Structure 1
Amino acid sequence: MKIGILTQPLQANYGGLLQNYALQQVLLRAGHEVETIDWTPSYKSLRYRLYRIKWTILSFLFPKKFPKLKYQPTDDEKKVIQQHTNHFISTYIHHTKTIMFKDGFRHQAKVGKYDAYVVGSDQCWRPCYNAFLSSMFLDFAKDEKVKRIAYAASFGTDQWEFTQEETLICSPLAQKFDFVSVREDSGVNLCKDHLGVAAIHVLDPTLLLTKEDYILLIEAEKEPKAQGTLFNYILDPDTVKSAFINRVAKERGLKSFQVLPKCQAETRTKDDIKNRIEDCVFPGVTTWLRAFMDAEMTIVDSFHGMVFSIIFNKPFWVIGNANRGMSRFTSLLKVFHLEDRLLDANQLHEVDINRPIDWSSVNAILEQKRNECKNLLLTQLSK
């Protein structure tokens, strides 16, 4: 069976790339032909300009929920910034040419001749992260006789963020799916209440592979040993988080380290990109993976930072970030009975950093859920 995957764009996002890689691997190992239908909106297109205008208005009205848009690097600047992540994409992910305009999805459907589509994961159904929202509900293939699967599709939040118009467009498209599963447990109710479809809760694709699968990637790239023992992967740094990291490092006798550009994507400026672009370059995907492999403890504020801490059995603390969506964290932590690892940024001084994790229990749950989710996905495709 030839399968087209739709997810977020293949860019410099470690978790996004690895969830796509993992989903492809599960399908390839089952004997399917797979490619990801890659996309990114053209910053020159009218649609993308309107999208930026809409976001700018929303960021003015609701600054906490919609942060200001950053400078958009040129194509040449992106090649430099994403040189290492692009290596991972070109080496390990089967993908189409990048679609930049909405009509490109319909064209790709014709030339791709897919038997099935799998949509998911990584907040692919969150409007504020998706300029082609209806395409993630397969509007371009609504009249085709194909299998339609949503695997671990994510809204990223437990709140309904679609406009009335978006809901009216996407709900009938969702009802054409043969099977819908979501990454967060809250997504089950969102699907039922707003899209009119029954959905089930499943694991993120990254959890469908084992630690050994990721170690093989690290070894294939001959990735050198990490630079420390306390891996802090913080996408939204501040003085409170930094103080907590320093405290943990001191009390546990660990060396803190990061795997991020010196100028992080969330805070870099146009001036940074124009005058010190080398400080904006993302380290490689396997460099990031190696950090989890070698760390003795991790402190993160990202969903996939939490996921890979679990996969590699590293004692971890995850600092919640409401703006990025809390249900992503709480939903997964509940599965493994690890709710106590989620920290409130305002109460970091109260944390008992020596609190252990029962990894035998976590791993038993993971193995059971992994098998259930893989079997469910593959069974739905074979129906």
Structure 2
Amino acid sequence: MKIGILTHQYINNYGAFLQAYALREAVAEMFPDDQVEIINYMNVKHSLINILGWFRFYKDRENFKAWKQKIRVPRNFSNARKNQMVMSPVCFTLNQVNKQRYDCILVGSDEVWNFKDKKSNNPIKFGIGLECSKLIAYAPSVGKSEYSSELPKYVTEGLNKFKAISARDQLTFELVSKVVGKEPTIVLDPTFLHGFPIEKAPIPKKPYILFYYCENLPNHIKNQILQYALDNGLQVYGAGECDKKYSSITVNLKPFEWVDMFRNAEYVFTGTFHGAVFSILNNCQFSVYLTNESRIRKVRALLKELNIQNREIDEEFVLDLKTKDRVIDYNKVNEIVNVRRMESLEYLRKNINDI
């Protein structure tokens, strides 16, 4: 059997890369005698906008030295895709995808069903025109695209073509339920399904606090965290991001180096879904500051599913690593993750096997 994964693998984003890698590895391990690959479908517009974003200069956060490191990141991702992903030949059209002759196509994860995102949306992600005997959705997200009576026709037609649909967040669950008339299976993000190679991040072996796009964090809270780090002999780094206030520049990271930044952090501050995911995967104590509507929904749903409480930062937040009242009990969290991982893998096994 030839299995293809249709996702946003072309995006230079750590979460996008790692979810695609993990899903492919998990399915390949499950079906070792089959050909499993990521469909190297390119949305040129989406890809170019993403690449150009890495060249923007933010004078309030970056200096020229940091910017010179940042603009190298797209090349890191390009090399990682070539060396660490198993992909089909590049495809720019639906016809080129169909010429690969897949028996089964998995659509997901990531915001592949965010039909309101003009730069990334494409009917092919909803299965329109795809030729295969089994079309399965694994953990797609609609981002902030909500159900309405005026959904694009390709959304309703496409969703009803799928043999099986799962979702990773509540908004996707609600939209699918209303369109197809039955509830999708809630599954974990692919990054929970498979491990990642160890590739040491290029930083000194010193205790540190990690930030990953904790955007718009109030200055009085950020300055308090930075002062706490200084007073307690901690470094402060960004996981693939820049800030003049950090201890050193750690923006130019390869995907698996990025993962390593979470493995060794004393504490993590993030405003993203995958920032929370990799904190959990590495049993990090962490806090979230959420301002993006899509991220608010996705992160809150994840924390609720794993019964992780009190992670959101409010105006009164004060960092104190010696205080135990906000410590996550990872024995309990890991028990939930292990059960949910087995259920998610079983969803894949059952629906790929079922003819």
Pairwise TM-score range, normalised by the shorter structure: 0.7 to 0.9
- The answer on whether the counterparts of 2:209 and 2:266 sit within 8 Å (CA) in structure 1 is yes
Rate the CA distance shift 1:92–1:182 in 2: closer, same or farther, 3 A: same
> Does the C-alpha gap of structure 1 residues 39 and 79 become closer, same or farther in structure 2, counting only changes over 3 Å?
farther
Structure 2 stretches lacking a partner, 5+ long: 56-67
Aligned to 1:152: 139
What is residue 254 of structure 1 aligned with on the other side?
Answer: 234
Shift of residue 95 of structure 1?
A: 1.7
Task: Give SS of 2:310's match.
Answer: helix
Q: 1:201 aligns with which of 167, 175, 186?
A: 186
Query: In the TM superposition, what is the alpha-carbon distance from 1:87 to its structure 2 partner?
Result: 2.2
Contact 1:234 1:302 in 2 (8 A): yes
Corresponding position of 2:215: 236
- Whichever residue aligns with residue 305 of structure 1, its letter is G
Distance (Å, rounded) in 1 between the aligned partners of 2:71 and 2:317: 41
- Identify the structure with the greater helix proportion: 1
State the match for 1:113 in structure 2. Answer: 101
SS of match in other structure, 1:82: helix
- Residue 342 of structure 2: aligned partner: 371
Aligned length: 327
Q: Secondary structure at the match of 1:164?
A: coil
Are 1:82 and 1:282, in contact at CA under 8 Å, matched by a contact in 2? no
Q: Deviations over 1:69-90 (max 9, x none)?
A: 97697xxx99944122222211
Shift of 1:242: 2.9
What CA distance in whole angstroms lies between the structure 2 residues aligned with 1:379 and 1:11? 30
Of 26, 32, 35 in structure 2, the residue corresponding to residue 33 of structure 1 is 35
Q: How does 1:126-275 map to 2 (within 5 A)?
A: 126-129=114-117, 131-141=120-130, 144-157=131-144, 160=146, 164=150, 166=152, 168-209=153-194, 213-214=195-196, 217-218=197-198, 221=199, 223-225=201-203, 228-234=207-213, 236-237=215-216, 239=219, 242-243=222-223, 245-250=225-230, 253-262=233-242
- Residue in structure 2 matched with residue 269 of structure 1 by the alignment: none
What is the one-letter code of the residue matched to 1:258? G
Distance in structure 1 (CA, Å) of the matches to 2:241 and 2:309? 30
Q: What's the counterpart of residue 268 of structure 2?
A: 298
TM-aligned CA distance change 1:366 to 1:133, over 3 Å: same
CA distance in 2, matches of 1:296, 1:202: 29
Deviation, 1:381, is 0.5
Aligned alpha-carbon RMSD (Å)? 3.2
Rounded Cα–Cα distance in structure 1 between residues aligned with 2:250 and 2:329: 38
Q: Which residue of 2 aligns with 1:12?
A: 12
Whichever residue aligns with residue 44 of structure 2, its letter is: S
Equivalent position of 2:313 in the other structure: 343
1:362 pairs, out of 333, 339, 346, with 333
Look up the SS of the partner of 2:240 in the other structure: coil
Inter-CA distance 162–134: structure 2 relative to 1 (3 Å threshold): farther
Give, as a single letter, the amino acid of the residue that structure 1 aligns with 2:138: Y
Q: 1:6 to 1:364 in 2, by over 3 A?
A: same
Distance 1:177 1:184 in 2: 18
Residue type matched to 2:127 in 1? Answer: L
Q: Give the deviation of 1:97 after TM superposition.
A: 3.9
The answer to which of 350-359 and 295-304 deviates more is 350-359
Task: Kindly provide the amino acid, as one letter, of the partner of residue 154 in structure 1.
Answer: S
Identity %: 27
TM-score after normalising by structure 2: 0.81
Structure 1 position 291, deviation (Å): 0.7
State the TM-score, normalizing by the size of structure 1.
0.76
What is the rounded CA distance, in whole Å, between the counterparts of 1:249 and 1:281 in structure 2?
20
1:96 matches 2:85: no
Structure 1: distance between partners of 2:345 and 2:231: 41
Structure 1: 5+ residue runs without aligned partners? 53-68, 265-278
The corresponding residue for 2:60 is none
SS in 2 for 1:340: coil
